[in-house]
Amino acid sequence: MGTIKVIEVMSESTESWEDAAQNGVSDVCKSVNGVNSVWVKDQSAVVENGKITKYRVKLKISFAVER
């Protein structure tokens, strides 16, 4: 298995919590190689005028440390 590093990130979407999670993973993958799992640690939303306008997630993303 080697060594795994875990980072925590926050991401958001105007569409859904799933889309917010995908946005976070996609953004991390732009600068980190070897991403192999994600854990949705927390979810929240912004409400304006009685409607959800933004979905937010806190993610723990793990990836292999390159030797």
Please report which residue ranges of 15-57 form alpha helices under DSSP H: 17-29
Domains and CATH numbers, the chain: 4-64 (3.30.1660.10)
pTM of the model: 0.88
What is the residue whose two structure tokens read 């979810």?
43
What is the tens place of the pLDDT at every residue in 15-64? 999 999 999 999 999 999 989 999 999 999 999 999 999 999 999 999 99
- Asked if residue 1 has pLDDT above 70, the reply is no
What pLDDT sits at residue 51?
97
Residue 67 reports pLDDT greater than 80: no
